[in-house]
Amino acid sequence: MLYGALEAGGTKMICALGDENGRILEQISLPTIEPSVTMPRIIEYFRDKEITGLGIACFGPIDLNPNSATYGFITTTPKLKWANFNIVRTMKEALHIPIGFDTDVNGSLLGEVCYGAAKGLENVLYLTIGTGVGGGVMANGRLLHGMLHPELGHITMLPHPSDSYRGHCPYHGICFEGMAAGPAIEERWGRKGAELADLPEVWELEAYYIAQALKNLILTLSPERIILGGGVMHQLQLFPMIRASVLTQLNGYLDTKELRDIDHYIVPASLHDDQGIMGCIKLAIDAAALSA
Asked if 189 is part of the footprint of ligand ADP (rule: CB under 6 A), the reply reads no
| Residue 232 interacting partner from Zn ion, ligand ADP, none (CB closer than 5 to 8 Å by kind) | ligand ADP
64 and 46 Cβ atoms separated by less than 8 Å: no
HSE-CB for 55 with a 13 A CA cutoff: 35
How many Cβ atoms are within 10 Å of 25's Cβ, its own excluded? 13
Asked if 178 is part of the footprint of ligand ADP (rule: CB under 6 A), the reply reads no
Q: Which of 223, 234, 229, 238 is nearest to 279 (CA)?
A: 229
Which of the stretches 40-48, 141-149, 165-173, 229-237 binds ligand ADP when contact is defined by CB under 6 A?
Answer: 229-237
Task: Tell me the C-alpha distance between 79 and 96, whole Å.
Answer: 27
Task: Tell me the C-alpha distance between 48 and 26, whole Å.
Answer: 14
| Residue 171 interacting partner from Zn ion, ligand ADP, none (CB closer than 5 to 8 Å by kind) | Zn ion
52 and 1 Cβ atoms separated by less than 8 Å: yes
- Residue among 8, 169, 232, 269 that touches ligand ADP (CB under 6 A): 232
- Residue among 92, 166, 172, 234 that touches Zn ion (CB under 5 A): 172
Looking at beta carbons only, is 8 or 246 nearer to ligand ADP? 8
Residues 6+ apart with CB under 8 A from 7: 13, 14, 16, 57, 104, 107, 276, 277, 280
Q: CA 275 → CA 235, 239, 265, distances in Å?
A: 18, 19, 18
Asked if 204 is part of the footprint of ligand ADP (rule: CB under 6 A), the reply reads no
| Residue 175 interacting partner from ligand ADP, Zn ion, none (CB closer than 5 to 8 Å by kind) | Zn ion
| Shortest distance in whole angstroms from residue 274 CB to ligand ADP | 14
- Residue among 171, 261, 263, 292 that touches Zn ion (CB under 5 A): 171
46 and 39 Cβ atoms separated by less than 8 Å: no
Asked if 118 is part of the footprint of Zn ion (rule: CB under 5 A), the reply reads no
| Shortest distance in whole angstroms from residue 233 CB to Zn ion | 19
Asked if 183 is part of the footprint of ligand ADP (rule: CB under 6 A), the reply reads yes
| Residue 159 interacting partner from Zn ion, ligand ADP, none (CB closer than 5 to 8 Å by kind) | none
How many Cβ atoms are within 10 Å of 273's Cβ, its own excluded? 12
Looking at beta carbons only, is 114 or 175 nearer to Zn ion? 175
| Shortest distance in whole angstroms from residue 231 CB to ligand ADP | 3
Task: Tell me the C-alpha distance between 159 and 157, whole Å.
Answer: 6
241 and 200 Cβ atoms separated by less than 8 Å: no
- Residue among 49, 92, 172, 234 that touches ligand ADP (CB under 6 A): 234
Binders in 113-132 for ligand ADP, by CB under 6 A: 130-131
Give contact residues for ligand ADP (rule: CB under 6 A): 9, 130-131, 182-183, 186, 192-194, 230-232, 234-235
